[in-house]
Amino acid sequence: MTTREYDVVLYGAGGFTGRQTVAYFSKHAPSSLRWAIAGPHRDKLEAVRVQAGGPARSTDILVADSRQQATVDAVVSRTRIVLNTAGPFALYGTPVVDACVRFGTHYVDITGEIPWVREIVTRYHAHAAAAGTRIITCCGFDSVPSDLGALLMARHIQQAFGVPCVEVKAYFQLYGGFNGGTMASMLNMLTSNTTVQLDDPFLIDPVTSHGPQQAERSRDLTTPRHDADAGTCIGPFFMAPTNTRVVRRSAALYADWQEPYGPEFVYQEALKYDPPFARTKAWVVTIGLGLFYASLKQPLTRRLVVPLLPKPGTGPSLQMMNNGWFRCDLLAFATDGRRLRGVIQHAGDPGNRATVKFVCEAALALALNADRLPGGSGRGGVLTPATGLGQVLADRLRAAGVTIDIGQPTPNGAIKEVA
């Protein structure tokens, strides 16, 4: 890559999540990092710069609108890395990715729109791989904990026991709110009918074969049930159709690179409910979410529900974001039956505080730790957090205050709490 004017450009900086990335960079980016903010509206970007304060006050503003490809090209060609928070990505993300691939600019985003990821895999993976350009999607709460968790647990099994890992389970608990961008992305998938593509558990995998047992065990959980490994009732996780596909792409790519997790590797995740009344809680949440999705799919009820949802550019209150949290308990299985447990957890709203930290540290990993990234400088393609950033991102997140405790032996039975 030729010398560029900027190391990182924060695209979509005028949005709800984008404003938080500016504040994060202003507080945590090293003074030597050359970064700028970009979006379609200069007035919004100027307000964001003032609001963030600190070094952000002097950062450059670049005006670009993804509906005008030439303006995006003009920005992308000036930077080594683009951090994109402007969704819905199926509507606004492709021109940015297209420019990044053409100009050899690395890219990270916070999308959870797996049908769109499938589209850019088809269109851009081969070109980006040949050029060594990293296009890394799903670097927010969906799907960093799931993807890094599976990678770290599988590798620890291999290193600690000297045998492959055949399965990782993740059990999530969380508290937080949704922002308008997330709602807009979900609505776009529902109204465009792309969610039907999620029936394929290997939607974004490279072209590989999957055994029938592996395919059967990879089906999404649809109803609550007692899980002996969790020691309580679990239920469907609304983010699993995104996270599980990302983890499976990581496992498949690593297998293609002769670094497999294990034979016919299986990954699943669920929401975990604590006693008392764990089963009741699980059914109430599952039925409630089902009714919510059903109301958004039907035009009549959608017109009633949408006005009640957060609007683009808005999100949870400061108190909600500060009081939010998530915990992901992990359980990994070796081919010889031995098990390891781990946990990833973070204090702060998952969809906002955690997402901002994850995607900003992903961009900083590309900018500051390129020599340690998995696969070396030649690796490229439409990648995942695990395949494009791997241990480097895990190390940065630990240093940034995320608890990542991996590889504790556990007897057969329930996951125990990590002190």
Q: What is the mean pLDDT of residues 309-322?
A: 90
Digit-coded pLDDT (tens) for 127-147: 999 999 999 999 999 999 999
Residue 273: pLDDT above 90? yes
Overall average pLDDT of the 264-293 stretch: 96
Q: Tell whether the model's pLDDT for residue 305 goes beyond 70.
A: yes
- Residue 123: helix, strand or coil by DSSP? helix
Mean of per-residue pLDDT scores for the chain: 93
What is the spatial order of strands in the sheet that 225-227 belongs to?
A: 225-227, 232-235, 266-273, 165-175, 325-334, 339-347, 403-409
pLDDT of 411 higher than 80: no
Query: Which among 91, 86, 81 is positioned nearest to 36, based on CA atoms?
Result: 81
CA–CA dist 371, 343 (Å, integer): 28
DSSP letter at 60? E
pLDDT above 50 (res 414): no
Q: Is 391 exposed, middle or buried (0-12, 13-18, 19+ CB in 10 A)?
A: middle
- Number of H helices and E strands in the chain, helices first, is 16, 14
Predicted confidence (pLDDT) at residue 418 exceeds the cutoff of 70:
no
Does the pLDDT value for residue 413 go beyond 60?
no
193-211 mean pLDDT:
85
CB 78 within 8 A of CB 34: no
Q: What is the pLDDT of residue 409?
A: 60
Beta partners for 396?
none
Written as one letter, the residue type at 302 is R
Share of the chain above pLDDT 70, in %: 97
Q: pTM surpassing 0.85?
A: yes
Give residue-wise pLDDT tens across range 208-250: 778 888 989 999 999 999 999 999 999 999 999 999 999 999 9
Helix (H, G, I), strand (E, B) or coil at 164: coil
Give the tens place of pLDDT for each residue, 49-107: 999 999 999 999 999 999 999 999 999 999 999 999 998 999 999 999 999 999 999 99
Lowest mean pLDDT across 193-197, 230-234, 311-315:
193-197
Helix axes 390-399, 144-161, angle to 10 degrees: 110
Span 17-21, average pLDDT? 96
What is the bridge-based pairing of β-strands 325-334 and 165-175?
A: antiparallel
Q: Summarize the confidence of residues 303-331 as an average pLDDT.
A: 92
User: What's the average model confidence in pLDDT over 318-344?
Assistant: 95
Instruction: Give pLDDT, residue 415.
Output: 40
Identity of the highest mean pLDDT range in 212-221, 287-296, 359-368 = 359-368
Q: What is the pLDDT of residue 189?
A: 86
